[in-house]
Structure 1
């Protein structure tokens, strides 16, 4: 009589701690793309997980306040004594610190608790906000350049949202690997001085291809000198105060002044230039400003570069305070794994994004989301 075949016992699932290190590293690298939260959680699971996640959790870093910057720098210094840490993707924002300064100046309680026990709300506190603003500005003007110098050599994507309440950021000499850069706020200080000097300063961003600048008074002369390989340029929130912009665009696009483009002109480096003006103020009160705005937009629309270059003037829009901080952070996350929405979407996507972030209070904070005060760099 034949015996039935022996069925082997079912194999027990392998504990995740016993997976090969190479496999864990691959899993962790996909998980640690949120800016710090997942990497911190993994490092707290066990000593083994902490060692595997140690270099990986720093690849994608999101810092949204001075407090976050301080804790990250302390953590980075500590971790670099154990292993070689490379930051590939950085989002950096001082928007919330700037909003705290505004709240103090207008007699409201800051969200971060920077004043400790603020006492009763008795109107604008002029004797308080100026020392707070100056102290924050001093720390940021020291720590942000220090941070950028510490990680610039390995950065691939960078997004900075800098509050207008603080001074300009001093950029380090070189970001050799940077491919995508979004900057919102007052123009930074570039190393080496004016690009018209002879010899001109070396470019900061020799490999940069996608550049997005959010600034109403932008001048692109310094930006383009330091980004010689850029192919995609977007300028957002533009207004007629950008007095030299039209002429700078003409020069960079190879459009001769006062005459049509020659048929055999050389191709400029750009593939796509996207211009998004800010909506004009109400004509009921500022008729002159509206005329200037309309003239500015018409000049942008009149740009006719080489046929291979796509120049797109988007519909002008007005955005709530805090919109760009939230939007840039989301697009930075998208850019870590794919292409950000600055380039792949058109007017419909812009309208969707505007509606998505319309649920903001007067300070640009989401009314449905609690304020994030935790730091992941401990």
Structure 2
């Protein structure tokens, strides 16, 4: 290995560093030569999922040092998996924004990291809004521009609207696949009826849109989905969209009150089936999965599969003349 060209080693190490950072850390401990030769590749895919508020700032400092010391290709993060941090002290009441020092520090840390890596980022998976508000520090989105971003996955139920896409020009001109993965029956990241317009304006080349774990109470997003499927003229649709995939959330929990929830859920599934039959665009309806309490683990597995060249949640097969996703993001009932 000592006699191999550095360019060859960089290529080999890049192909190996697709596990979110573990291999990169291991390579840095092998020897001085391997540490230097793998400096670029070590940051190829990074997972910041500890939930610790200082982790983002610590990684940013590490990346900044590596970039300053680099004598060859500048280390770049191509794939990022980011989980929102947990508060060190759970709030008893919501403080004023200017008094929430822990939140302000976390926003500044994440903003600085994204400022450094966003121009060269290929895939980005974010998990936030999946904990109680009193325990979580949300990931900021305002002002992010990722010109090379190809795939974006957002998991959770935190608010996302116009703050995700700001500025006069498209923030995501290369984005082709968007996956919105909800964590609650009626909480859908604040996605409102304008979400197709927002993505059309800032990600005009999206070809695949997947919405997973869609709750039967999520009326704020069902109408836009229907408009996209039917190419309705009352909502500006994604012009390049080739595939729309929807996975409903599981039904009401057993043992609860009977009547309206079960009736509403049945009506919800019926509407999705009707939507699929009437769709003017390719529309795939995935079987509802089981209830989940852990979204981070499954999301990490999907992201790692994509980084490693796998299909992730975009795997399809021919079935009755229609392409049906093979993989649900949530395990199917009974599996």
Q: TM-score range by the shorter chain?
A: 0.7 to 0.9
> 1:92 is paired with a residue of what secondary structure?
strand
1:174 equivalent to 2:148? Answer no
CA RMSD, Structure 1 to Structure 2 (Å): 3.4
Aligned partner of 2:126 among 160, 167, 172: 160
Which of 52, 58, 63 is equivalent to 1:76? 63
Distance in 2 (alpha carbons) for counterparts of 1:71 and 1:285: 48
Secondary structure of 1:327's counterpart equals: helix
Could you tell me which runs of 5 or more consecutive residues in structure 1 were left unpaired when the two chains were aligned: 1-15, 102-113, 116-124, 195-199, 259-265, 359-378
Residue number in structure 2 paired with 1:8 = none
The answer to whether the 8 A contact 2:27-2:38 is kept is yes
Q: Which residue of 1 aligns with 2:240?
A: 269
Between the two proteins, the alignment pairs up a number of residues equal to 301
Distance in 2 (CA, whole Å) between partners of 1:352 and 1:214 is: 10
For 2:211, what is the secondary structure of its paired residue?
Answer: strand
CA distance in 2, matches of 1:349, 1:53: 34
Sort the Cα spacing of 1:230 and 1:354 in 2 relative to 1 into closer, same or farther, 3 A.
Answer: same
Cα drift, residue 242 of structure 1: 2.3
Q: 1:55 to 1:231 in 2, by over 3 A?
A: same
Partner deviation per Cα, 1:125-160 (whole Å, 9 max, x = no partner): 8769999xx565333322222221211100111111
| Structure with greater proportional strand content | 2
Q: From 205, 219, 223, give the equivalent of 1:243.
A: 219
1:38 aligned residue (19, 23, 26): 23
- Measure how far apart 1:46 and its partner are: 2.1
Aligned twin of 1:210: 177
Relative to 1, partners in 2 of residues 1:81 and 1:238: Cα closer, same or farther, differing over 3 Å?
Answer: same
Q: Deviations over 1:173-222 (max 9, x none)?
A: 4111111111112133545878xxxxx84322111111100124244333
CA contact (8 A) 2:313 2:325 kept: no
Among 323, 329, 334, the alignment partner of 2:300 is 329
The alignment's TM-score, normalised by the length of structure 2, stands at 0.77
Task: Specify the alignment match of 1:6 in structure 2.
Answer: none
- Go from structure 1 to structure 2 and tell me whether the alpha carbon gap of 1:192 and 1:44 turns closer, same or farther (over 3 Å shift): closer
Partner residue of 1:148? 114
Structure with max Cα Rg? 1
Summarize the alignment of residues 90-239 of structure 1 with structure 2, pairs less than 5 Å apart. Answer: 90-94=80-84, 97-98=85-86, 136-164=102-130, 165=133, 166-167=137-138, 169-185=140-156, 186-188=158-160, 190-191=162-163, 201-215=168-182, 216-217=187-188, 218-219=191-192, 220-221=195-196, 222-239=198-215
- Of 160-169 and 37-46, more deviation after overlay is shown by 160-169
Q: Deviations over 1:47-105 (max 9, x none)?
A: 222221111111111111334322211101211212222111111112xx44xx6xxxx
C-alpha change, 1:82 and 1:288, in structure 2 (3 Å) is same
- Structure 2 unaligned spans of 5+: 317-323
Q: Residues 61 and 354 of structure 1: is their aligned pair in 2 closer, same or farther, counting only changes over 3 Å? A: farther
Contact 1:152 1:174 in 2 (8 A): yes
Once residues 217 and 224 of structure 2 are traced to their aligned partners in structure 1, the CA distance between those partners, rounded to angstroms, is 14
CA distance in structure 2 between the aligned counterparts of 1:147 and 1:161, rounded to whole angstroms: 16
SS in 1 for 2:43: coil
Q: Which moved more, 1:312-321 or 1:280-289?
A: 280-289
Contact 1:229-1:269 at 8 Å conserved across structures? yes
> What is the match of residue 321 of structure 2?
none
Q: Quick one: structure 1 residues 348 and 225, their matched pair in 2 at CA, closer, same or farther if it must change by over 3 Å?
A: same
Structure 2 match to 1:365? none
3-state DSSP of counterpart to 2:160? coil
Cα distance per residue 1:209-266 (max 9 Å; x no partner): 11100124244333443221111110011113322323312333453489xxxxxxx9
Q: 1:350 aligns with which of 300, 310, 328?
A: 328
Matched, 1:278 2:249: yes
Say which SS state the counterpart of residue 124 (structure 2) adopts.
strand
Q: Is 1:171–1:189's contact at 8 Å kept on the other side of the alignment?
A: no
Aligned partner of residue 233 in structure 1, secondary structure: strand
Change (3 A) 1:351 1:26: closer
CA 24–282 in structure 1, closer or farther in 2 if over 3 Å, else same: closer
Distance 1:302 1:238 in 2: 16
